Each structure stands twice: as structure tokens, then as C-alpha cells.
Chains A and B, each alone.
Chain A
Amino acid sequence: MSSKMVYLQPIAVRIWHWLNALGIVTLCISGAQIRFPEYVTILGSYRSAIMLHNTAGIVVALSFSIWFFYYKIVANTLDDIYIPKGSDLTTGLFRQVVFYFFSYFFGAPNPHHATPENKFNPLQKSAYLAIMFVLMPFVSLTGILLMNMGPMREIVMLVGGLTLLDTIHFLTACSLCAFIFTHVYLATLGSTPMAYIKPMWTGWEKVENHHDAENSLVDRSQAEHSH
């Protein structure tokens, strides 16, 4: 099986990814202590949990803004990379679901081949679209409002009050926490458990040549579709 190395993840993306990862994990842990202080005491005092949560929140919100700015304005690849195309929605999603929940168990290779222009499989695109354009903005904006209740009181009351904000913040945070478990697990589904994780660290991914994958069930079905 021949393979080549592809430079998949530019340095800016990698820094952003790991900063985000550290930030979100910190937010989940400190958030758990803030909500359940009598059960979670891992960060010491409640006050330190709040301080850490606020700091990590600002870092993640800023890195989100920079990420958006970088992809949308500097690289201008945001739409291409994150928004599913017509074929992604009609056949791609189904193909990827079949792979994850069926053909994977029989040893079929991943029907999606990551390239710098098309990094994500259709399922990833849809999931990341929801996360980066729904969950992240919601959790960040509610967090910013909760952090600045005093000066932003009027806005808070306008959007329905503190309790509603807190509810949205909590539920979106739980969704992001759920995403992390799924994300980390799916990252181990490469040819080896570290095959997808390494490129996020080094930038380079080992990609098998396309011809080697042609025997797979899924690629044949894709070929039939294209005919």
C-alpha cells in the first residue's frame, strides 16, 4: 500500500485547536464545580473555579473570534471547509453514516479522503457547522452576558432574564461536553488510533493513495452513483 504525506493542518489551526481543547476541558471541569459545588471540589475554592472559568471563557471566546476571522477573512476557506455541499447532503452523509456504523466493523476504509481543501467528511462538516455556528456562539454570548450581569443588565432582561441565559449556557455547555467525548473517540478511528491525532500536532497526515481504497464496498457504491 503506497502512501504520501499531506500538509493538512497549518500551524495557526493547530494552535487554535489545542488552545480550544484545553480551554473547553477547563471550562467543563470548572463549570461542573460552579454548578455542583458540594460534589465537585477539584479546583479548590469556589472563587478559584469562577476565576478559572471566566479566564478560560475569555480565552475560548477570543480564540473563536480569531478562528472565525482567520478562516473567513484571511484564508477565506470557511465556507468551503465547513458548509456541506449538495452532494454531501444527498449521498455523503448517508455514506459516512454507513461507514461509521456498518462497513467500518468489516474493515472497510474511510470513504472520505482528507485534503487541505476538503478536510472534513460530510458528517464532520454538519457536526462542526452546528458546533461552530450554533453552540459556540450561544455558549460564548450567554457566558459574556452572565459574566457582565451588572453593566449588561438591560440586554439580559431584554433576552429573557438571567435564568433563561443560564439555562441556555448550561445546555449548550453540556452539548459541547458531549461533543468532546464523541470527537476524541472518532479521532481514534484512523488506520491506527493515533493516525488522525498526530496530524493535529505535526500538521502532516499520511494519506493512502486513492487507488488502494477502490476495493471498498463504499467506494464501489460511490462509483455506481457517479455513473
Chain B
Amino acid sequence: MSRTYLNLKGGFAVKHGYRSLLTKQSIVMVLFSVSCIAAGDQARAADYSFGDGTGKNEACIACHGNQTKVISQNYIDPKKFGHTTHAKFGCTTCHDTITSDHPAVKPGARTTSCGDCHGDTVSQYSASIHAKNAPCSGCHNPHRVNSSREIAATEMNKQCAACHSNIKITASHAKWLPQTELHLGAIACVTCHSKAENYVISIYIAKRESTGPDTKPTLLTYEELLKYSNGDNLQYLIDKNRDNYISLDELRKFNRDPSNKNIYLKAMMTPVKPTHSFQTFDNRWDCTFCHGSGPEIMQTSFLSFPEQNGTFRQVAIEKGASMDALRAIPNFYLMGSTRNGVLNGIGLLIIAGGMVMPVGHGFLRFLTRKNRK
């Protein structure tokens, strides 16, 4: 089998008889030619001020933010990178061995590491069994990381699913966890598999799909939601009075609106601050860790709207009444914790009604016992 690969811009062809040769050698050649093109098309890197103030990222992004100029591994999405905290520090803070000869001269190995800034996280992570199997970059791409508040719980779970197959996860949880699919669909993995202590209910706008279980909800993207808001700020889809605050009434109205019949509010339990000690903590085997936590812990909920850059933005939902917020979302219910005080009162009254005969009648019966001798 013989194929010819032609690099149009480089103007030379590589011919190989074997696929194995193709993969190794041609990639080297392509890499080489790409760097030649970059060097030829762009002004030399020396023209840019690496490492001194503003504009330093732009110099890098000029090539690395353009898919036609660098290979895919070296491509940085400018929008996503620009949003990260890392961007504020500048490319050369981490890529410290870059010289002004770049790209003609390849940078040597970096002397920096994630632990330089994230020391606590790295030491916490190193102690977990995950550290053996995945470096930081196994889950986090430093050029597009977002804070945990900015990513949807479904995105968090996708990180885990990159190694842990959904089928195996469902099977292993099903050994002990009742309603496995329901649980896995409504909880971010790190809610249990991290030392996080506090939780919030995050609500997303998801597609209503008639097929398949709810374990992998599909959230609507920014572009898809724009159609519903007619180009307006997505938040106003629900926050009708535009006060940056979602009332229960607004939630209910959104649910009842017939034009929203193909979308629904998907509530998930997410940790406020996930930690990197990924393991199963003993208290998580105990259902009452969540179900017995009482309504008090469930008071905070947010609606997460997708942003143009792929992140999510949280808008607060009426506080102190997350139970009622969930009541406005008909498909989320956390037994034991989302119970309603008024309903409990009514239930107690009904049961007390059942005691009227034994107590009231029984008392009169006792007083009049002589009449029945």
C-alpha cells in the first residue's frame, strides 16, 4: 500500500510504503513544515515582547490561536483561554523556557509546574489513588480551565467519564445504591467523591428527550437558548422582571410556559467547593448524609445559564426556600431533605384526626363503662 502525502505550502511530498512509517515520519515532517510556515508567514517572535506586560499573550495567540498556523495539540482557543485566570498571568509565567527565538527554537522543558501555585491542591491530590493514573492535565486543560461554579455538573461528570465508563459506574453503584440511575443523573460525581462539605442545587436548562434515561441530560448551549430568548440575554428567559434574581413564581411560569415544552429545568446537586481528595468517604455510604441532612442544608440554589464562551453563569434563586424552588421544578425531589413543613403539619393533623376515636371516644367509654355492665 503506497500513498502520497503532499504538503501544499511546504511544497514537498512524502512517500511511504507502510502505515507505521507513515505515522511516525510523516508527523515529524508535517510538524517541521508547519513550523517553517509559521516562521515564514509571521514576523519573527523576537518582534514581540515576551514576558513584559500587556500584549505578551497576543504574541503567542497570534499563532497558537489560529488553527491554520499550528497543529491541533498546540492550538489554544483564544476565547476560552482569555477567560481563565491563567491568562492573567501570561503565557510565559508557565512556559518559562520560551525565548525570543521561538518558534525557530523549540522551548526546553518547563521548570514550572501546577504545584507552584496550586501547592495545597497538588499535595491533596498526590495523596489520592488518582495521582498514579492521571496528572493534573489528565482532567484540567490549563488553557481552558474554569472555576467549579462556571462549569455545569454534567461537564464535571464528563471529566470522570473520560476514564470511568458509564456502564461500569452504573453497575458498581447499583450494587448498593437504590435508584442508581436517578442518583447518578442528579448528582455530580465529586459531590460524594470529594471531601466537599456543603452543597447547592444547581439548575440547568436541558433538552427534553423522549428516549433514554435521565442519567445523561443534554444541556442547551448558548446558541440553542438564543432561539428561545430571541437574541435577548438568556437570563431574561426566566428572570422576567430583570432583577438578577429568580423568584419561585418566575420558575413556575417558565415551567408552565407551553413554548418551553421541549426544554425543562434539570436540577443537580453540586458541591460548593469540590476538593481533590477523590475517594469514597465512609459517611457517603450512609444515605442520611444527604437524605437526613434536613431541609436546612438545601437552602441555596442557583440557575446556571450557558455563556457564549462555553462557561456557565449562576443566578441566585429565591433564598431560604429551596424546597419550594424544587417544588417549582417538578422532577427533582430529595427525600428526607426537601420535605415541606406545611405538608408535615397537614399530615400530622390527619394522623391526629385518627386519634380522636381512640382518645376521645375511649375516654367517654371509660367514664360510662357501668352503663354497659
Contact = CB atoms under 8 A, between A and B. Distances in A.
Measured as residues with beta carbon below 8 angstroms from the partner, the interface class of chain B is: 35 or more
Nearest to B353: A178
A141 to B, nearest CB: 17
A50 interface: yes
Contact of A100 (B178, B292, B343, B361): B361
B330 interface: yes
B176 A170 contact: no
Contacts, number: 120
A153 B331 contact: yes
A179 B371 contact: no
Given A174-B351, A182-B358, A105 B214 contact: no
Interface string A139-161: 00000000001110110110011
Contacts of A77: none
B266 to A, nearest CB: 12
Given A37-B336, A175-B350, A105 B371 contact: yes
Contacts of A100: 361
Interface in A16-30: none
- Which of B181, B326, B335, B344 is the most central at the interface, judged by chain A CB atoms within 10 Å of its CB? B335
A34 interface: yes
Interface string A158-200: 0011111011001101110111111011100100000000000
A38 interface: yes
B330 A181 contact: no
B339 interface: yes
Contacts of A173: 347
B214 A150 contact: yes
Label chain A's interface by main secondary structure.
Answer: helix
Contacts of B338: 163
- Which of B348, B358, B362 is the most central at the interface, judged by chain A CB atoms within 10 Å of its CB? B358
A45 B288 CA distance: 8
A107 B46 CA distance: 111
B343 A164 contact: no
B84 to A, nearest CB: 37
A190 to B, nearest CB: 11
Contacts of A179: 354
Interface in B201-223: 210, 213-214
A193 B213 CA distance: 54
B372 interface: yes
A50 B287 contact: yes
A163 B358 CA distance: 33
B292 A35 contact: no
B110 interface: no
Interface of B: 176, 178-179, 181-182, 210, 213-214, 286-288, 291-292, 294, 326-327, 329-333, 335-336, 338-340, 343-344, 346-348, 350-358, 361-362, 364-365, 368, 371-373
6 contacts: A38-B292, A107-B372, A150-B213, A151-B213, A181-B355, A182-B357
6 tightest Cβ-Cβ pairs between the two chains A and B: A161-B330, A178-B354, A46-B287, A37-B292, A174-B347, A181-B354
